[in-house]
Copies of this chain bind each other. A is one copy, B any other.
Amino acid sequence: MISDAVMWKNVWFKRLTDPKVKNPVLIEGLPGIGYVGKIAADYLVKVLNAKKITEVYSFHFYDQVIVGDDGVCRLPRNELYQGRWGGRDVLILVGDSQPPISDLEGHYLVFKEIFNYSVSLGCKLIVTLGGFQDAQVRIKPKVYVACTNDNLLKKLVSVENITLDRGGQGRIFGAAGLLLALAQLENMDGFSLLGTTLGTLEDYLAAYHVLAALSKILSLPLDLSGLEEKKNRTQSFLLDVKRRRKDYLERIEEPKPPEYIG
């Protein structure tokens, strides 16, 4: 029977194991702009062979019941995986969906629970991954960084071999922003890596660069070869977009030669 006390809280956990982790970092990648965060986090789960420890349910995901290819149905959900990255424990948050942007109450309720659970497991660093919508086609995407405090930001922008960009004043939507802000409220360290993306495709290129940056920042090696093929496909697609845009601009900007004289 489904406990009333639990569902009354608008979000509930189905715990599959009682994880033992030490000083884990929480890495979030839920569906969002260009699916950058989701692609990156799903890849981490796969490449680190992480194990699912909890399912998170809530009507705030505002999605109907999902029927899989096989005809088997289930509720939409988020999932927390436990993995080992180099010498470090990681918790990885992935899922079907987030609450819609208009449902800020849902965001607070769901991600507060996930935040609290992570803290209860000893988590002291939160990383959120996502996309940064950018109309410009970039074959080498930028990776923007936002942070919970000044000191951490200084450290991040001085990491060798990567270039992180500080975004200007703005907003971060959804889990990627909220988990950071809860960390900031609790004086914890946290940062967000947002790869620039057109936002209109599943952007494996941006996800690749976000993961590469994360690997450098955490000083943890990561085998990205499993993403290469799809990364290259995204890159080809973007090169094509760039070419077509250039053609289009040339056509509309160049003065047309006179069509007849006389």
A198 close to B (CB within 8 Å):
no
This chain's copy number in the assembly = 4
A181 close to B (CB within 8 Å):
yes
- B178 and A65 contact, CB distance less than 8 A: yes
How far, in Å, is A153 (CB) from chain B's closest CB? 5
- A73 and B177 contact, CB distance less than 8 A: yes
A17-51 toward B: CB 8 Å interface, digit per residue (1/0)?
00000000000000000000000000000000000
Residues of B within 8 A of A1 (CB): 116, 119-120, 186
How far, in Å, is A77 (CB) from chain B's closest CB? 9
Q: Which residue of B lies closest to A108 (CB)?
A: B59
A262 close to B (CB within 8 Å):
no
A66 close to B (CB within 8 Å):
yes
Query: Which residues of A pack against B, CB within 8 Å?
Result: 1-2, 4, 7, 9-10, 14, 57, 59-60, 62-75, 101, 104-105, 107-109, 112, 115-116, 119-120, 145-150, 153, 166-174, 177-178, 180-182, 184-186, 192
Interface residues of chain A: helix, strand, loop or mixed (majority): mixed
Residues of B within 8 A of A14 (CB): 185
**Contact for A171 among B67, B180, B182, CB less than 8 A:** B67
Q: What 8 A-B pairs are tightest by C-beta distance, nearest first? A: A65-B177, A64-B171, A59-B108, A71-B166, A75-B181, A65-B181, A59-B104, A65-B172
Residues of B within 8 A of A145 (CB): 71
Distance between Cα atoms of A145 and B101 in the complex (Å): 33
How far, in Å, is A32 (CB) from chain B's closest CB? 12
